[in-house]
Amino acid sequence: MRAVVVNSSGGPEAVEVVETAVPEPGARQVRIKVAAAALNPVDAGVRAGVFGGAGERIGLGWDVAGTVDAVGTDGAWSVGDEVVALHYGTVKPLGTHAEYVVVDADAVALAPSSVDAVHAATLPLNALTAAQALDLLEPAPDRSLLVTGAAGAVGGYAVRLAAHRGVPVTGLARRSDEAFVRSLGAVRFLDGDAEDGGFDAVLDAAVLGEPALARVRDGGRYVGVIPQAEPAPVRGVRTGAVEVSADGARLAELVRLVDEGVLTTRVAETYALEDAAKAHARLDGGGVRGRLVLVP
């Protein structure tokens, strides 16, 4: 089968499409025939060597939508099930940017029925990150929440999920994105020049760090999206960062919200698997709204 890998860290030119053996599922695993797989900033980080793995062949891709085509022992899934999954791991021999991928059975959920595989592939990593970050913040209708990067993939899901719970959300993004951020349910909008602060909690999806921390009230809560990269606590503010985990049950809840029209998936552009390097170059160029998706 074909798979996207890097053999040495670097820019988009380091991305290769190679032929490799089709993986076999073990106990409590399933193999998915990939229909679509999103490209995320973490893939660019892996490609650039941010997470280590020098000298190793590393597979790229975390998100997948496709069809179960083989199951290991003790599995709850059946061949033919249309599914989505998060394949967690920064340094792994094969990722989801391939024709087939093996994942743990408990990382899998049935695919949304209301969108196609390309759109479904944009859900797992970003929506799970947003949901699990909100879990850390414990927002409530009587507490204010600021989401930075509110027009981005993680930030957009966070705004929508929090608003769906009745939390008063303020979204911080570029001024040109105000209408979109408000459409997600934000009751207030800020651009980067605004100096508003005093929020009970901040979800820093834009990875602003200290400037986002400064907007939290004394004794409030800050959560970032890059593990171990959050700023140090100040003024009694608790700081932390979400480390996303594969959770099929939680993913199933997010799928349900897609099918109910609560969450909207966003696709910027699709690329053939063999054009993975071009997709990386587009991602590095910035300004992408929605996710780039690879289609084998």
What are the structural domain ranges in the chain?
Answer: 2-123+265-295, 126-241
Cβ neighbour number for residue 111 with a 10 Å cutoff: 25
- Percent of the chain residues topping a pLDDT of 70: 100
* 126-241, CATH topology level: Rossmann fold (3.40.50)
Give the mean model confidence (pLDDT) for residues 174-183.
96
Give the mean model confidence (pLDDT) for residues 223-244.
95
SS3 label, residue 194? coil
Cα–Cα distances in angstroms (integers) from residue 84 to residues 125, 192, 251, 273, 279, in the given order? 10, 35, 8, 18, 21
CATH of domain 2-123+265-295: 3.90.180.10
Whether the per-residue pLDDT at 18 is higher than 80: the answer is yes
Distance between CA atoms of 164 and 136, rounded to whole angstroms? 17
Predicted local confidence at residue 59, as pLDDT: 97
- Segment 234-282, tens digit of pLDDT: 999 999 999 999 999 999 999 999 999 999 999 999 999 999 999 999 9
Task: Give phi and psi for 217, each to the nearest 5.
Answer: -65, 160
Domains 2-123+265-295 and 126-241 share a fold: no
Give the mean model confidence (pLDDT) for residues 49-71.
94
Whether the per-residue pLDDT at 76 is higher than 80: the answer is yes
Average pLDDT, the chain: 96
The predicted model scores a pTM of 0.96
Whether the per-residue pLDDT at 74 is higher than 90: the answer is no
At 195, the pLDDT band (50, 70, 90 cuts) reads confident
